Amino acid sequence: KQEVTQIPAALSVPEGENLVLNCSFTDSAIYNLQWFRQDPGKGLTSLLLIQSSQREQTSGRLNASLDKSSGRSTLYIAASQPGDSATYLCAVRTGANNLFFGTGTRLTVIP
Amino acid sequence: DTGVSQNPRHKITKRGQNVTFRCDPISEHNRLYWYRQTLGQGPEFLTYFQNEAQLEKSRLLSDRFSAERPKGSFSTLEIQRTEQGDSAMYLCASTDPKDYGYTFGSGTRLTVV
């Protein structure tokens, strides 16, 4: 069974700092990997989707990388802002119905 | 189309009562998924539909749970004889057939008292 691990579980940084969130997965036979953001008590907002054939995706201040062979992905957030405070979830898709999630990294950006 | 819509946003029910949630996916997405999320955990797969066919159910989906998608559009998730352990956020998602990216709704938070 696919296992997804996210490190660290929580992270607190001062505003303006660049930061990296880590995601690892045990089975490299994935279709794609998706990063989501979740605000407290809310649903999931998709941030970036990386297909298995891709190495990275960028959207604004966000950059996600994928190293399928080593089972790792990183989410880089540049020039963090207080509005970035949320839980960030990594999920890998291994089949038609299987999206496996990590437990998330709770990010706090201090003004 | 404004995305995946879920109703209600919150539901408080007494133990033993039945509850039903609704999900309206993005119209051109033919796959629809239900997930459950408890506090501090990532979402866990419950079931999924391709059009109106329910193709897989997780072992998490006990016989008190039933999901339908009668016309291949909206879906309902019913929980019968609710228990306190059913308290969770129930998330619905649909996937873009072009890239299989998931779009989630805002969820229904169920509290069983």
For the cut 60, the answer to whether the pLDDT of residue B47 exceeds it is: yes
Contacts of B100 in chain A (CB under 8 A): 31-32, 93
For the cut 70, the answer to whether the pLDDT of residue B1 exceeds it is: no
Contacts of A7 in chain B (CB under 8 A): none
> Nearest Cβ partner of A97 from B6, B55, B89?
B55
- In angstroms, the Cα distances linking B84 to A4, B6, B91, B108, B112 are 28, 22, 18, 16, 5
> Could you tell me the pLDDT band of residue A17, with boundaries at 50, 70 and 90?
very high
pLDDT at site B102: 93
**Taking a C-beta distance cutoff of 8 angstroms, is the pair B5, B20 a contact?**
no
**Taking a C-beta distance cutoff of 8 angstroms, is the pair B58, B46 a contact?**
yes
In whole angstroms, give the CA distance from residue B104 to residue B95. Answer: 9
In whole angstroms, give the CA distance from residue B107 to residue B92. Answer: 7
pLDDT at site A96: 66
Cα-only R_g, chain B? 13
Q: Give the model confidence (pLDDT) of A49-107 as tens digits.
A: 999 999 999 999 999 999 999 999 999 999 999 999 999 999 999 876 678 999 999 99
In whole angstroms, give the CA distance from residue B112 to residue A69. Answer: 43
